[in-house]
Chains A and B, each alone.
Chain A
Amino acid sequence: MEKIFARLSQVSASLVFVVLVSTLVTLYISAKPAIEEFGAKFLIDARWGVDVPIEPPSSDHKPAQQASQSSVSNAHLDNGTNAGDEDDGINVGDDDDGINVGGDGVVSNAPHKEVFGGAVAIVGTVFSTIIALLFAVPLAMGIAIFLSEIAAPAISKPVGIAIELLAAIPSIIYGMWGLFYFGPFIASIFGGHSVSLLVAGLVLGVMVIPFMAALSRDAINTTPDVLKEAAYAVGATKFEVIKDVVFPYAKAGIIGSIIISLGRALGETMAVAFVIGGVFEFAKSVTDPTNSIPVVLANNFSESSGLSLASLFYLSLILFVVSFIVIFTAKHYFLRRGK
């Protein structure tokens, strides 16, 4: 019995690693064509699905160029077959197919390849997350402190329940709310578009606030009363007690709540898809539309194959790694105790 129990829990625990590693491996395998094709340049290339003529082999590396050429034409063929329904956003207007067909006589003999780059989506993801956190962290901390330290139980109970209800709202509802009401509202204040990086960041922020606030409140509530009393007993004011005793004591839990929210914001798809605009252009200002990794994935999977599909997998692999690194470093950097 003891052994079975130990074994069972062992199996459950090892499942974590199996899932983690297998996800990583499948992502990598699916992304491999795109990784081989674009390499690290994918990270800084802002083009997505843009057709470019292949220049005569002069640049970087020659043998690779040759190899890729054949794979490119394959991918190209694939693309051609379902070209009809390949249609997304801005860069589609002057899509490869148009050029291919139209410019038959002269240009078509020159080899073409489709280029994919993740820079816009990566930058969009990072910045929308940063905006979300800048907006959410102070508010969530305010809520958490109010609920745990300042409000009387008669107030903190109903507000606490309201926060938990907010956390339960499905993200698509936030998306619709953002698209139809919040976005235009923000645009009327800050100008620019009603779908934009700013709106996406703020909607994300609104979404993660309940999590952050509820978890931080729980962390703050773990501060022993006697510790606070001891601080009051050396003459500290309420603000000083919160700043110097409660916060440092609950630091691990508070940072944990921020990290969880960060992970959620990085990967959030539906709400952001509604309000970020989904165009492959860098936002010149925060009120411009742009794109984020999960949104690119969600919007393009059904219409992708071959190299473009591999590029999507490449992008998801990047998201995976970025989330992992962010959370891992955040945890290690912030949760170290003392100095």
Chain B
Amino acid sequence: MKDIANIMEIQDFSFTYPKAENPSLKNINLPIKENHITALIGPSGCGKSTLLRAMNRIHDLYPGCHYEGAIKLKNQDGSIGNILDIKKENDFIALRQRVGMIFQKPTPFPMTIYENIAYGLRIAGIKNKNDLEEIIVKSLQDAALWNEVKDRLHQDARGLSGGQQQRLCITRVVALKPDLMLFDEPTSALDPISTLAIEEMILGLKEKYSIAIVTHNMQQASRISDYTAFMYLGDLVEFNDTDVMFTNPKEQQTNNYITGKFG
């Protein structure tokens, strides 16, 4: 494996859901590489989404989660902080603006297309109308969504098609210029054509952003990711270059999964 800087490093990480007896994730060690795409694959219930949701601590919206180990995130000044140490609400807000998230189903806010993007920007402190306008137009152009929505910027975002909604949600996160973007099965609710558009979008994003993506779809992982992590029953079984992973995996279990013997 080439030596590339890690934006995030997960170390001996264990996670237990509220009121659960046993941890859902056990001693995970995983790097997320800067400006590359890391895919998390594995059968349902293996903990891949749980791991992803720990990376911006969205779990903490529901009290009673238990963490062990460390998740280290590189700050913009090069220093490194453990996000599991965060306790104050303001720090959570800062974390979630730096580590953006896109969900399984499109989640347009109940407001206009313009406001959907402006919302996070305003929270981030960009209030000037001209600045907002500029960023929003630029983001939509980058997302190749501009031509589709330029005439209806001030209409309800829920009127867009599913694929457009999801691209809007990605744009909304990109506009915040996060250090790391988390995708939680972003195409599982979409048709093949919309899926393709999203995949192209994600590929285009890796020039500037670091990306972790959870997917059910192994072809998707092999198409877009640079690194792949295979998880099974709360363990990280294997982490490798995507090319190696899908041609010559180290572990028998990985081989069984990617060749379709189970999962």
Contacts and interface: CB of A to CB of B under 8 A. Distances in A.
Interface stretch (B102-110, B194-202, B246-254): B102-110
10 contacts: A228-B61, A230-B103, A234-B97, A234-B120, A234-B173, A235-B176, A244-B119, A245-B110, A338-B159, A339-B154
Contact of B58 (A152, A232, A248, A249): A232
A229 B101 contact: yes
Given A226-B104, A229-B61, A337-B156, A235 B97 contact: yes
A249 B107 contact: no
A240 interface: yes
B120 A235 contact: yes
A228 B105 CA distance: 12
Query: B interface, how many residues as a size bin?
Result: 20 to 34
A139 interface: no
B94 interface: yes
A237 B89 contact: yes
A251 B110 CA distance: 10
B206 interface: no
A226 B107 contact: yes
A234 B176 contact: yes
Contacts of B61: 228-229, 232
B56 interface: yes
B155 interface: yes
Interface of B: 56, 58, 61, 63, 89, 93-94, 96-97, 100-101, 103-105, 107, 109-112, 119-120, 123-124, 154-156, 159, 169, 172-173, 176
Interface in A238-255: 240, 244-245, 248-249, 251
Contacts of A240: 123
A330 to B, nearest CB: 20
Contacts of A245: 109-110
A14 B156 CA distance: 35
Given A229-B58, A229-B61, A338-B155, A234 B107 contact: no
B176 A226 contact: no
Contact of A230 (B63, B101, B155): B101
A233 interface: yes
A234 B154 contact: no
Interface string A207-227: 000000000000000001011
Given A233-B96, A234-B173, A244 B58 contact: no
B96 A234 contact: yes
Given A237-B89, A337-B156, A338-B156, A231 B56 contact: no
